[in-house]
A = this chain, B = another copy of it.
Amino acid sequence: MSEPLRLGIVGLGRAFMLMLPTLAHHPLVRLVAAADPREEARWQFESDFSRADAPARSYDNVEELCADDGVEALYIASPHQFHVAHVRLAATYGKHVLVEKPMALTIADCQAMIEAADAAGVHLLVGHSHSYDAPYLKASELIRSGRFGRARMITASNHTDFLYRPRRPEELDTAQGGGVVFSQGAHQVDIARLLGGGLVSTVRATTGRFDPARPTEGAYQALLVFAEGASATLTYSGYGRYDSDEQLGWIGEMGQRRDPESYGMARRGLVGVSTPEEEAALKNTRTYGVAKNSVAPLSAALGHNHFGPITVCCEQADLRPLASGVMVYADDRRWLEALPAPTVPRAEVVDELYAAIRSGIAPLHSGAWGMATLEVCLAILESARTGREIALQHQVAPG
């Protein structure tokens, strides 16, 4: 039963790079094939993942990868706008799918993906999102145990330099899925939904576009009201000023040690970049097949991944998920529900995919779950645009 999943990769770009430490080192997965238009990425993939008895395959088109009989499941990490076509293709060939967030840019596309997977009888998971991170899963488990009463008020904020990391032009265009609501809201909303019971009734939100040179949402605030009485306030800013990792002992999103003295680094990295083409080229220097040491040995992580400071007020305790576990603040004492340090980062993604495919355990991060999170993100944009509270209709509870 511990035969590793034979995984194929659609898109050897930045999302793949971020999942590479997981996919290269998790014992329950083996990378066997990939598709990407860039020759240097394909060459690198074959070089990194071929074994003496089993060469890794690479393709310059996705359908050939989908047709590969040695592939059981596909990790679809192509640009957002291709997700729906690639999920359909994968399902047609009977492959299970892990599709990157945001799942898609419209509810109709999400529905098409879910229908394609259902019709083919394959599993469809959405992720990585930070709601896979062990501390949030642990907090959710504590809430669902009933020990502390119902979760009632979630306060989540995250202040990062997201908007000043090197971007391709479409990442700064909301119509093409750019901006922080699609890319970062997908994390924060996913976590809030996990902790608040999943079923968001209404969304009221504002968005901020503070920099005319990067004309997409760089910030948002939202109040989510849940069907079962919980609520959540969300604040996100990607403008690279106050950094909320300060509140978390300078442990970063990936569980790594941050340098408190590296203020303003993202903006400085863009000094001298004067055209969108130059910026895209700068981004490409960090992509697979170009950056050095794409598959590095694992170093001991300081802690789990996280997505900023989050406090959950339950009826009988407050919970604070941290990189080391979950702090529980009860009436008479507080304690850390410690989690073992991660050996493989983001192992939870592969664990959930593996459990679905090998053991038939319904995944938390199903297509329906991902669609519900996208619905909240779209409602944030709509509420900000119209100045109204938006009622939702595609919400699902955690499985």
- Are B231 and A233 in contact (CB-based, < 8 A)? no
- Are B208 and A153 in contact (CB-based, < 8 A)? yes
Interface residues as binary, A1-40 with B (CB distance below 8 Å gives 1, 0 otherwise)? 0000000000000000000000000000000000000000
Task: Confirm or deny: A234 has a beta carbon within 8 angstroms of a beta carbon on chain B.
Answer: yes
Question: Whose C-beta in chain B lies nearest to the C-beta of A152?
Answer: B208
Which residues of chain B have C-beta atoms less than 8 A from A243's C-beta?
329
- Stretch touching chain B among A128-136, A277-285, A309-317, A366-374: A309-317
Complex: how many Å from CA A331 to CA B270? 12
Which residues of chain B have C-beta atoms less than 8 A from A237's C-beta?
153, 313, 318
A interface majority secondary structure: strand
- Are B210 and A233 in contact (CB-based, < 8 A)? no
- Number of identical monomers bound together in the oligomeric complex: 2
Question: Whose C-beta in chain B lies nearest to the C-beta of A388?
Answer: B389
Which residues of chain B have C-beta atoms less than 8 A from A43's C-beta?
none
Q: Which of B242, B327, B330 contacts A311 (CB 8 A)?
A: B242
Task: Confirm or deny: A95 has a beta carbon within 8 angstroms of a beta carbon on chain B.
Answer: no
Task: Confirm or deny: A264 has a beta carbon within 8 angstroms of a beta carbon on chain B.
Answer: yes
Name which of A240, A241, A263, A320 has the most chain B CB atoms within 10 A of its CB. Answer: A241
Count of A interface residues, CB-CB < 8 Å = 51
Name which of A157, A229, A333 has the most chain B CB atoms within 10 A of its CB. Answer: A157
- Are B223 and A313 in contact (CB-based, < 8 A)? no
Complex: how many Å from CA A229 to CA B329? 36
Question: Whose C-beta in chain B lies nearest to the C-beta of A271?
Answer: B332
Question: Whose C-beta in chain B lies nearest to the C-beta of A239?
Answer: B313
Complex: how many Å from CA A329 to CA B266? 14
Task: Confirm or deny: A225 has a beta carbon within 8 angstroms of a beta carbon on chain B.
Answer: yes
- Are A206 and B225 in contact (CB-based, < 8 A)? yes
- Are A318 and B389 in contact (CB-based, < 8 A)? no
- Are B267 and A331 in contact (CB-based, < 8 A)? yes
Which residues of chain B have C-beta atoms less than 8 A from A247's C-beta?
247
